[in-house]
């Protein structure tokens, strides 16, 4: 209802202004090029509404149509195409009343992909703007994109007949423009439509590769670049090889790196990157960059690791220097050596006690970036070593000149041989013998040192190389036993010796004495510790020898590495005692006790003893060289008569003097 009232008011106002002329209010160019002419209706002097258009060829108006209904104030002209050029119309209701108006003709010129210049004509003929009610009114510019919306968007307004439109170009679309000029009477002149296919063909600026480098923690190849400065950048395409084939897409204008999950860092990859925009226009490809690949070679049983690496490649970048970093046994990496950009090989001498060595190369690039290679691990294990090596004994010969050593070694590992070392202080050792490998786990060796074993303690250790002759396993340290005898007391010999070194424990030390009565040694006792020592009371000792020898036998305790208990002999220590002599002056052959006559001699030289018994007339009654034999009072099978007899005893004492003693003994029946 309100709309009807406004229309009535509108036409009432028009009639008041224009009187009875069918004045054109506005023109509207339709999509098909026809034009709708809006005019003021009349109430008097009406014959018919005649619509005419100006023919530029004949330079005159020609009839295009008529309207016989006095109340109809519009007409659609289909004869003239207002899409092609501006059309001038006139409307009359009789021979004397008419009005003129033009269509708005819009032309379009593309400046670039996102810029158009619009030019249009004024709808006013010679009449003033005030006559059409457009005074102080502006042309309104409308735009629409076909693929985006059916609605028109007002983009600006102006009093000029030209306008330049700038917009971000769509990927592919058609842009439409129209111009409207409203007037104060509520009628707007509308231009023809102009359209143009627009598309974004401008490619982004290509990114610049900074480096291709391996992430040491995850061992993956990472390509880094500076983002494209193009505003419409949507993401990046990473490609590999030549030709460069896309391997992944990364969304985001500010993205600047790519982690290649499919790139094996042990191989060289040629990577590049391209930017693309929202219309998937792709930039030029960056230069391809090739990563550094480190490799190594190590021969079996060699401590030389030959390293080589591929050189970094990526124009325009160059390499200033290469740095070699090393980690030992999974420790922290440290800079080991720096190389010129022309170098790419190095022979590293590995420490044989280090089980594994890990390396990587760092390239310092001309753009102040770095590129890291893959890590390589020289995991050649420590060469096989023997599981055990023992010295089982170090036994001194009776003359102290030789030391017999027994060994028990893991023979399952084939080695060059076994190195035997000797020391006199358990600090400085010298190699005395390299014993050939025989495949037997038990073997012996007799050492003849320059000094006899009663003068010094000897220490031994066996060094066994591994299968590569690089690392050595040491046996236990085994010592000889040096025996000392203190003979300052005439009746007591005090023995002391060092503790044997080499066994898990020593069960006991057995003390032996050698004299004429015990040529192979008589065990005097046993102690559990060398610190206890031993005392030998010789006051009641009866022997024809002037020399006593002592030695110790150490007996192994605890567990036995080879399953067999063993012992080790000490050095031998000799004692020269002062010769002692006693002889009784009577005996009774027929008595139970005291029925034998013999001297009692101790500590005389063996094999120098002679004992004789003579009658008073010099007849030899008895003779012996055996210290243990005496005269029983018989001669030629008959007991001798009770009387006095002469004895003569000869020997060499401990001081080397020949002694001859004689006297009288009484035989009592």
The full set of domain ranges for the chain reads: 2-102, 106-199, 208-290, 294-378, 407-477, 483-576, 580-667
| Mean pLDDT for the stretch of residues 384-405 | 96
Q: Contact, 415 vs 385, CB < 8 A?
A: no
pLDDT confidence tier of residue 10, bands split at 50, 70 and 90: very low
Q: What mean pLDDT is reported for the chain?
A: 90
pLDDT > 80? residue 546: no
Find how far residue 198's CA is from the centre of its chain.
Answer: 56
pLDDT at 539 (0 to 100): 66
pLDDT at 11 (0 to 100): 38
| Mean pLDDT for the stretch of residues 283-294 | 96
pLDDT at 541 (0 to 100): 60
pTM over 0.85: no
Of all residues in the chain, what percent carry a pLDDT higher than 90?
72
pLDDT confidence tier of residue 381, bands split at 50, 70 and 90: low
pLDDT > 80? residue 480: yes
Q: How far apart are CA 578 and CA 14, in angstroms?
A: 170
pLDDT > 60? residue 50: yes
Assigned CATH topology for domain 294-378: Immunoglobulin-like (2.60.40)
Find how far residue 344's CA is from the centre of its chain.
Answer: 21
3-state secondary structure of 6: helix
| Mean pLDDT for the stretch of residues 474-498 | 92
pLDDT confidence tier of residue 23, bands split at 50, 70 and 90: confident
Q: Identify the CATH class of 2-102.
A: mainly beta
Q: Identify the CATH class of 208-290.
A: mainly beta
3-state secondary structure of 18: helix
Q: Identify the CATH class of 580-667.
A: mainly beta
pLDDT > 50? residue 119: yes
Q: Contact, 573 vs 552, CB < 8 A?
A: no
pLDDT > 90? residue 375: yes
| Mean pLDDT for the stretch of residues 640-659 | 88
pLDDT confidence tier of residue 95, bands split at 50, 70 and 90: low
> Which region among 16-20, 181-185, 275-279 has the lowest average model confidence (pLDDT)?
16-20
Q: Identify the CATH class of 106-199.
A: mainly beta
Q: How far apart are CA 651 and CA 188, in angstroms?
A: 165
pLDDT at 7 (0 to 100): 35
pLDDT > 80? residue 604: no
Q: What element of type H or E holds 101?
A: strand 98-102
Q: Contact, 395 vs 413, CB < 8 A?
A: no
Q: How far apart are CA 505 and CA 552, in angstroms?
A: 16
* HEC per residue, 75-101: EEECCCCCCCCCCEEEEECCCCCEEEE
Q: Given this chain, do its domains 2-102 and 580-667 carry the same CATH topology?
A: yes
Least Cα distance to 188 among 153, 156, 140 occurs for 140
CATH pick for 483-576 out of 2.60.40.10, 3.40.50.2000, 3.30.470.20, 3.40.50.880: 2.60.40.10
Q: How far apart are CA 166 and CA 404, in angstroms?
A: 107
| Rg of the chain in Å (alpha carbons) | 65
Q: What element of type H or E holds 164?
A: strand 162-166
pLDDT > 60? residue 548: yes
Contacts of 581 (CB under 8 A, 6+ apart): 599, 600, 601, 604, 649, 659, 661
């Amino acid at each position: 209802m309100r709309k009807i009232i406004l229309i009535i008011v509108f036409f009432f106002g028009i009639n008041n202004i224009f009187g009875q002329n069918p004045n054109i209010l506005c023109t509207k160019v339709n999509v098909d090029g026809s034009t709708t002419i809006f005019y003021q209706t009349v109430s008097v002097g009406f014959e018919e509404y005649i619509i005419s258009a100006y023919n530029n060829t004949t330079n005159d108006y020609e009839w295009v149509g008529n309207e016989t209904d006095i109340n109809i104030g519009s007409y659609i002209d289909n004869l003239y195409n207002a899409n092609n050029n501006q059309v001038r119309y006139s409307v009359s209701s009789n021979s004397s009343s008419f009005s003129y108006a033009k269509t708005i003709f819009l032309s379009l010129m593309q400046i670039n992909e996102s810029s158009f210049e619009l030019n249009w004509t004024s709808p006013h003929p010679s009449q003033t703007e005030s006559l059409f009610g457009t005074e102080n009114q502006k042309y309104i510019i409308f735009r629409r994109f076909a693929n985006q919306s059916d609605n028109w968007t007002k983009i600006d307004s102006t009093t000029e007949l030209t306008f330049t439109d700038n917009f971000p170009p769509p990927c592919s679309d058609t842009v439409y423009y129209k111009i409207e000029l409203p007037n104060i009477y509520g009628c707007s002149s509308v231009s023809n439509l102009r359209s143009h296919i627009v598309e974004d063909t401008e490619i982004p600026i290509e990114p610049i590769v900074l480096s291709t480098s391996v992430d040491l923690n995850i061992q993956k190849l990472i390509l880094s670049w500076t983002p494209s400065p193009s505003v419409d950048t949507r993401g990046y395409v990473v490609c590999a090889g030549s030709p460069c084939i896309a391997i992944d897409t990364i969304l985001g204008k500010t993205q600047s790196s790519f982690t290649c999950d499919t790139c094996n860092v042990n191989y060289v990859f040629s990577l590049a990157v391209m930017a693309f925009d929202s219309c998937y226009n792709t930039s030029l490809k960056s230069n391809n960059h090739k990563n550094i690949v480190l490799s190594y070679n190590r021969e079996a049983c060699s401590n030389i690791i030959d390293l080589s690496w591929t050189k970094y490649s990526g124009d325009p970048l160059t390499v200033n220097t290469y740095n070699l970093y090393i980690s030992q046994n999974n420790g922290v990496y440290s800079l080991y050596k720096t190389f010129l950009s022309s170098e790419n090989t190095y022979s590293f001498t590995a420490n044989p006690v280090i089980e594994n060595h890990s390396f990587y190369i760092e390239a310092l690039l001309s753009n102040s970036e770095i590129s890291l290679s893959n890590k390589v691990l020289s995991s050649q294990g420590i060469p096989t070593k023997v599981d055990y090596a023992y010295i089982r004994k170090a036994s001194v010969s009776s003359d102290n000149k030789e030391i017999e050593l027994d060994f028990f070694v893991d023979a399952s590992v084939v080695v060059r041989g076994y190195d035997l070392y000797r020391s006199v202080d358990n600090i400085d050792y010298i190699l005395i013998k390299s014993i050939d490998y025989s495949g037997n786990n038990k073997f012996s060796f007799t050492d003849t040192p320059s000094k006899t074993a009663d003068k010094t303690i000897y220490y031994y250790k066996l060094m066994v190389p591994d299968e590569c002759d690089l690392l050595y396993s040491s046996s236990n340290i085994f010592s000889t036993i040096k025996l000392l005898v203190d003979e300052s007391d005439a009746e007591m010999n005090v023995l002391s010796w060092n503790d044997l070194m080499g066994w898990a424990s020593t069960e006991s030390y057995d003390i032996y004495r050698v004299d004429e009565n015990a040529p192979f040694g008589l065990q005097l006792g046993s102690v559990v510790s060398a610190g206890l020592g031993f005392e030998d009371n010789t006051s009641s000792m009866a022997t024809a020898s002037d020399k006593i020898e002592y030695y110790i036998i150490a007996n192994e305790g605890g567990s036995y590495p080879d399953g067999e208990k063993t012992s080790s002999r000490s050095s031998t220590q000799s004692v020269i005692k002062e010769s002692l002599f006693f002889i009784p002056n009577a005996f009774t052959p027929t008595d139970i006790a005291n029925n034998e006559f013999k001297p009692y001699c101790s500590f005389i030289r063996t094999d120098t003893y002679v004992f004789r018994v003579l009658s008073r007339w010099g007849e030899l009654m008895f003779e012996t060289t055996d210290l243990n034999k005496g005269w029983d009072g018989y001669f030629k099978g008959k007991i001798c008569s009770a009387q006095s007899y002469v004895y003569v005893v000869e020997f060499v004492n401990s001081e080397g003097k020949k002694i001859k003693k004689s006297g009288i003994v009484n035989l009592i029946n």
